Structure 1
Amino acid sequence: MRRIQIIVNNGAGTGRAHRVWNETQCLLRGYKIKYEAHMTRYEGHAAKLAEQISRVKGEEPVYLLVVGGDGTINEVLNGITDFDKVRFGVIPTGSGNDFGRNLKLPKIPKESLREICACIRKDQRGEALYRIDLGQVSWEGCEKPRIFGISSGLGLDALVCKKALHSRLKQVLNRFHLGKLTYLALTVQSLFTMETANAKVVTEHGGYILPKMIFAAAMNLPAEGGGVPMAPHASVQDGLLSLGSASGIAKWQTFFLLPFLVAAKQEHINGFTIRNEKGFRLILDKPMVLHADGEYCADVTRVEFRCLEKKLWLLHEQKGDQSKT
C-alpha cells in the first residue's frame, strides 16, 4: 500500500486545526501508519497539492485525507484529477464543518482515524466503499467548471458567504465557538441591502420563473452555512441536486420566515420552493453573487448546476443514507 497522503490546513477553525493535527500525528505514529503530510501555505495550494498527489502513476488506489475545513475540502475536490483512483477521507477542523456534519463524519480525530483505517482495510479486501454524488457549477466566463461537495448558490446565501470570508466578526466569534452567529448577523444585514433578480430556471423536464429571487441554492447535501437546512431531504445517493429558492415575496416577509428555514419547515410556505433534478440552468436579468461551498466564484447572470453521480469514493462507514436529516 502507498503511504497515506494528508493535506493539512493548519489555519482552519482559528487554532483548532493545529490542535487536531498534532493529535492526529500522535495517533498515526502510535498506530505505525506510514503517511506523508503536505501543509497548505496559501489560497489555492490545497488544489495544487491534490492535483500532484492524484496524478501518481500506477493502478493502486491513492488514499488522500484532508485535515481542514469546508474551504480546504472544496479546494482538494477541485484539484483531484482521477476520482476513480482516489479514496477520500476527512478529519474536520473548520468552524462550519458542513461537509462533515451533513455526512455524520466523526468529530474526534481518534474516531475519524479509526473509521478511515477500517475503510482502507475494507478497500484492500476488495469490498465496496461508500460512493457519493458531487455537484458541479459553471458560469459565463469561467475557465473551468467548479466542483462542490455541499452546495452552490446565488443571491443571499452567496452574498453572506462572500462577506463571511473576510468578516472580522467571524474571526472574533470563532474564538468563542460562536461562528454560527456570524452567518445569522450577516444574513439579516444582507437581506435588506441586496438587490433581487428575476430568474428563469431550465431543467430537463421544462422550466419555471423565480420572480424577485432572493436566493437559489443547489444542494448536494441538506445544509450549508453552519447547518442551515436549505433542502432538508437532499441526498448524496440519488443522482440529483435539490434547488432550494426564495422568490416572489417581500424582503421583510423573508426576514420573518427565516426561523422556518432554520427549522427545516419551509417546504409548504409561500415563496419557498425546492425542486429535485439532475441539473438546473438559471438565466438572470441582473448579476448576483455565486458561491461554491462557501467560496466566492463570480457575479453572474447565467449559471448551470449539475449532479456528478457517484463521483467520490469516501472513506466513511455507510449506515443508510447519512446525508438525509
Structure 2
Amino acid sequence: MELHFIINSNAGNGRGIKRWEQFKQDLTLPYTTHWTQYAGHTLLIVKEITERATKQNPVCLIAVGGDGTVHEVLNGVVHFEHVYIGVIAAGSGNDFARGFETFKTGKQLEQFIKYPTRSLHDYGSALFNGTSKYFINNFGVGFDAFVAMKANESKLKKSLNRWKLGKLSYPYYVISALFTYKPFHLTILLDGKEQRFENVWFTTVSNQPYFGGGMKLSPASNTCDGTLEVTVVSNLSKWKLLFVFGSVFFAKHTGMREVHQFSMHSIQLFFEEPIMAHADGEKQKLQQHMNTIEISVHQKAWSLAK
C-alpha cells in the first residue's frame, strides 16, 4: 500500500507543520510527503496520486490539516476506488475530528498499514453553477456561510490560532454579522413536496453533527446511515438567533419552533437571488440567475482508514 501525507503548512496558523514534525517521529515505514502551496493545490495532488490506485496497489492518503484540507482530499478521490482517507487533525475548528476517527500517533498509523481496516461513510454532493461540489461535514447557505467566510478571512482567527483558540473566532463573527446580514426567502422541494420558508437566516445540510468549531447543530446525523439532515432556521429575531447559536453547543436548539430539521436523500433549494454558501467551511457563491442547489447523499462511498 502506498502511503502519502498531504500536509497543509498553513493549517491552524502553522499547526500543520508542528503536528507533522511530532507525528513523523514514530514512523518507520516508507512514505511520501506532499506540501500544499495554495488553495486548490491539494485537489491537484490527490487526483494525480489516486489515478495510480489499483486493487493490487491501494493508496492511503493522510490529510494533515483542518476541515478545508480534508474537504479538498475528498473532492479529489470520490471518483476513484482503492483509496483510503486518513486524517491527522491540525486545523483550528477540526469538526471532522469530532465526527470521525483520526490518527493520533505514528504507531497507530503503522498498525493500520500492516493490518488495514476501514469504515465506509457517506458524503454529500451539491450541484450548482453547473458543477458538483462534494462535502464531508456539511453544506450551508446563508448566515453560517457568511460567518464562515468572515472568520476564515479574518486576522483575528490567525491571532487566536497562535493560542490554539482559533475556533473562538466563529462565535465572535456570529455576533458581528447579526447587524449586517439580511435574511432570505427559501423554497425547498423534498420528496415531491414543496415548502416555503420566510426570513431564513441559514440552511445547513449535515452529514455529521458538528460545525463551526464544535457546535452540535445536527445531533441526529450519522455518517453511515445513508441520509443527510437539513436544518432551517427562520422567522426569529437577531437576539433569539444569538440564543440559538449559544444553545447549539449543547444541542438545546432542536425543540425551538423556529428550528426545522428533517432527514433526506435528496433535496432542491430555490432562492430568489444569489446567496453565499459554504462546503465544509470553504466559501462558495451562486452565480447570477443560477439560484438553485440540488443536494444528494452518496451512501458509504468512501473509505476511512482506522
TM-score, normalising length: structure 2: 0.93
Partner of 2:24: 25
The SS at the match of 2:156 is helix
> Which residue is equivalent to 1:105?
102
- CA apart distance, 1:175: 1.2
Contact 2:54 2:82 in 1 (8 A): no
Say if 2:293 is the partner of 1:309.
no
Q: Distance in 2 between matches of 1:285 and 1:302?
A: 9
- Cα contact 1:55–1:82 (8 A) shared by 2: no
Q: CA deviation at 1:57?
A: 5.6
- The CA distance in 1 between the partners of 2:54 and 2:185, in whole Å, is 50
For residue 210 of structure 2, the aligned residue among 218, 223, 232 is 223
TM-aligned CA deviation for residue 299 of structure 1: 3.6
Q: Equivalences for 1:1-325 in 2 at 5 Å?
A: 1=1, 3-28=2-27, 32-56=28-52, 58-59=54-55, 60-80=57-77, 82-106=79-103, 108=104, 110=105, 113-123=106-116, 129-139=118-128, 141-142=129-130, 144-204=131-191, 206-299=193-286, 301-316=291-306
SS at match of 1:34: coil
SS at match of 1:244: strand
Deviation at 1:278, TM superposition (A): 0.7
The more displaced of 54-63 and 113-122 is 113-122
Deviations 1:79-131 (A, max 9, x none): 1254421011111111111101222435x3x2xx33333333333xxxx6211
Find the aligned partners of 2:295 and 2:78 in 1 and give their Cα distance.
20
CA deviation vs aligned residue, 1:273-299 (integer Å, no higher than 9, x gap): 111101221101232211000001114
Distance in 2, Cα, partners of 1:246 & 1:81: 31
Matched to 1:302, the amino acid is T
d(CA) in 2 for partners of 1:85, 1:157: 35
Distance, in Å, in 2 between the alignment partners of 1:51 and 1:104 is 23
Instruction: Report the more deviating stretch, 231-240 or 200-209.
Output: 200-209
Corresponding residue pairs, total: 302
**Aligned partners of 1:273 and 1:227: how far apart in 2?**
20
Distance in 2 (CA, whole Å) between partners of 1:16 and 1:268 is 38
The corresponding residue for 1:320 is: none
- Which residue identity lines up with residue 24 of structure 1 in the other structure? F
- C-alpha displacement of 1:246: 0.4
User: 1:130/1:195 Cα in 2 relative to 1: closer, same or farther (>3 Å)?
Assistant: same
- Over 3 Å counting, the alpha-carbon distance change for 1:157 and 1:312 in structure 2 is same
**Percent sequence identity over matched residues?**
31
Contact between 2:54 and 2:81, CA under 8 Å: does it hold in 1?
Answer: no
Does the 8 Å CA contact 1:115/1:315 hold for their aligned counterparts? no
How big is the shift at 1:61? Answer: 1.3
Change in 2 beyond 3 A, CA 1:249/1:62: same
- In the alignment, the residues of structure 2 paired with residue 54 and residue 132 of structure 1 have an alpha-carbon distance, to the nearest angstrom, of 18
For 2:95 and 2:82, how far apart are their aligned partners in 1? 25
Instruction: In structure 2, list runs of 5 or more residues that go unmatched.
Output: none
Give 3-state SS (helix, strand or coil) of 2:254's partner.
coil
C-alpha distance 270-57 of structure 1, shift in aligned 2 (>3 A): closer
SS of the residue corresponding to residue 251 of structure 2 reads coil
- Structure 2 letter corresponding to 1:307: V
Q: How far apart are 1:263 and its partner, in Å?
A: 1.7
Q: What secondary structure is seen at the aligned counterpart in 2 of 1:49?
A: helix
CA 277–57 in structure 1, closer or farther in 2 if over 3 Å, else same: closer
TM (normalized to structure 1)?
A: 0.88
SS at match of 1:145: strand
Report the CA distance shift for 1:275/1:26 in structure 2 as closer, same or farther (over 3 A). same
RMSD across aligned C-alpha pairs, in angstroms?
1.7
